[in-house]
Amino acid sequence: MDSTPTSTVPTGAEHRRGLFKAGDQVQLTDAKGRMSTITLQQGKQYHTHKGAFDHDELIGSPEGVVVKTTGGNEYLALRPLLSDFVLSMPRGAAVVYPKDAGQIVQMADIFPGARVVEAGVGSGALTCSLLRAVGDTGMVHSYERREEFAEIAAKNVRSFFGAEHPAWELTIGDLAEKLADDEVDRVVLDMLAPWDCVDAVAKALVPGGVICCYVATTTQLSRTVETLRAHGAFTEPQPWESMVRGWHVEGLAVRPDHRMIGHTGFLVTARRLADGVTPPVRRRRPSKGAYAADYLAEGASPADGTAPDPEFNEDGTVTSSVARRVLP
């Protein structure tokens, strides 16, 4: 399914501003903080276990009003934010959480007008953030190998923007085989095996372009980084993760929340080098506090005569005497 943009309607801004109108999504929050999302339709009613209210009561109202059912239940009415929308929209595959989408937009440097390739599209959560960041003048070309996921994503993206987004193109197929774009500024990969796509991505990215991979496990992280490193067309990959901890703030009870989203995934970015360029590489030496694995990965084995016998502390760190002998 190639979905060529079918509309030049500016999306996003008009759709998400002004008084409520028919077709708008509205997030209703009750007194217990429970949320549900409805799409406003003239003449329709919203039913609860305590009576109903007419959608028409909201059409023409500003956001932030309270609507009451015939049984007395009150609901605060607001348009869902993108972060609310992606967590409540229908899902095919697992979505990129808002905390990671924010990191991707910033650290992969997705700018207005950018030409971005994304794979896989999954449920379309990240796609919404990418489209918002590139705007109507940019391009997001999403690839997805499972048609049923692509269909869910297409519905979600349309539902969020309220129209076909003029900057979006969606192709069914494996990115490694189908990637036909060239002169792409940014590539974002959220898939099981991003290393399979590194070569295709290197051909598509402009010099200075950014590849950003999102992976869930340490083994994927390791293989992604090693593949990028060995490929030769990229700068040293930068891996990281982010954790977000909410806080409870009430009077003198000011403390971190008991629960947090500890792990979602790891991110890795690297930049495309110009063709034929070999960047200067700093040979890293084991330092005090470096882990045994860091030390051995550098090839500092007793056999090659470049380093003394490994001496490690019980926790796996290099002993200070080794660090002293190895460091200049």
Ligand X SMILES: C[S@@+](CC[C@H](N)C(=O)[O-])C[C@H]1O[C@@H](n2cnc3c(N)ncnc32)[C@H](O)[C@@H]1O
Give the integer Cα–Cα distance in Å for 286 and 66: 62
DSSP strands (E only) in 101-174: 115-119, 139-144, 168-172
**The two structure tokens encoding residue 117:** 């390739």
The answer to whether 197 contacts ligand X (rule: CB under 6 A) is yes
Amino acid present at 172: I
Q: Return the number of the residue (123 or 269) whose C-beta is nearest ligand X.
A: 123
Q: Return the number of the residue (167 or 191) whose C-beta is nearest ligand X.
A: 191
Amino acid present at 317: T
CB of 96 to ligand X, least distance (A): 4
The answer to whether 265 contacts ligand X (rule: CB under 6 A) is no
CB of 54 to ligand X, least distance (A): 34
Tell me which residues in 201-220 interact with ligand X (CB under 6 A). Answer: none
Sign of CA dihedral 29, 35, 40, 46: negative
CB of 234 to ligand X, least distance (A): 18
The set of residues, in sequence order, having a beta carbon less than 8 Å from that of 305 and lying 6+ positions away, is: none
The answer to whether 187 contacts ligand X (rule: CB under 6 A) is no
| Binding residues for ligand X, total number by CB under 6 A | 23
**Segment contacting ligand X (CB under 6 A): 22-30, 53-61, 184-192, 219-227?**
184-192
From 121, 116, 153, 148, select the one nearest 132 (Cα to Cα).
116
The set of residues, in sequence order, having a beta carbon less than 8 Å from that of 8 and lying 6+ positions away, is: 166
Give the integer Cα–Cα distance in Å for 125 and 193: 19
Q: Return the number of the residue (94 or 260) whose C-beta is nearest ligand X.
A: 94
Tell me which residues in 110-169 interact with ligand X (CB under 6 A). Answer: 119-120, 122-126, 143-146, 149
**The two structure tokens encoding residue 297:** 């990965």
Work out the number of other CB atoms within 10 angstroms of the CB of residue 126: 27
Q: Return the number of the residue (160 or 295) whose C-beta is nearest ligand X.
A: 160
Q: Return the number of the residue (144 or 185) whose C-beta is nearest ligand X.
A: 144
Q: Return the number of the residue (116 or 119) whose C-beta is nearest ligand X.
A: 119
**The two structure tokens encoding residue 200:** 């295709």
Give the integer Cα–Cα distance in Å for 50 and 30: 12
CB of 222 to ligand X, least distance (A): 18
- Encoded one letter per residue, x for contact with ligand X by CB under 6 A and - for no contact, window 60-99 reads ---------------------------------xxxx---
Q: Which residues here bind ligand X, judged by CB under 6 A? A: 93-96, 119-120, 122-126, 143-146, 149, 174-176, 190-192, 197
